[in-house]
Amino acid sequence: MYETSLRTAMTELGASLFDRGYSSGSSGNMSVRLPDGNILATPTNSSLGRLVPERISLVSIDGELLAGDKPSKECTFHREIYKARPGCNAIVHLHSTWATALSCLSGLDPADVLRPFTPYYVMKVSPLPLIPYFKPGSQKLFDAIARQARESAAMLLANHGAITTGKTLEQAVNAAEELEETAKLFFILQGKDVRWLTESEIAELKA
């Protein structure tokens, strides 16, 4: 059954992210949109490293709990992203170390936080707009994410973490991993003479 395989995939990929330090405690969440429009989402206060397939929340696009445990409060912005991006079928939200550190810097370009310097960042993540700081779980944050989701497949939440999306769960996870590694490289390269990708190189990659 397709839903069963997705529950298993969420459990396995969540554990993989947790075991490699991309998530800690009960932080972070993920979701997948089913063909019928309903959503599988990680439950509230759950650890990505200890998900139980049958306890993963099944909710409607309007937020009605259909099966499993109560979903994370941040499932609200997952639902808004799905409404805004018809081609999106999976969302990953992490408080991973390097991306979160990046989100805490002042003076970031809100239109695109990271100037591209690797091809895979361009192909899997860029551009990366910045969502202003709002209290986690607040309607103001959810509204800001929903507005940005109409234009962006990934975004950085100020002083909070990152959101990546994809046509599949694997694609969303891959984007989250690529963003984390790129943020790590960004800090490693501070004070160095970086060779940034040119506009023509970026255009070639996007094409």
Catalytic residues: 74, 120
Q: How far apart are CA 115 and CA 53, in angstroms?
A: 38
130-131: strand order across its sheet: 65-67, 57-59, 39-41, 29-33, 90-94, 161-166, 154-157, 130-131
Structure token digits, residue 86: 């018809």
DSSP 107: S
Q: How many CB atoms lie within 10 A of CB 57?
A: 22
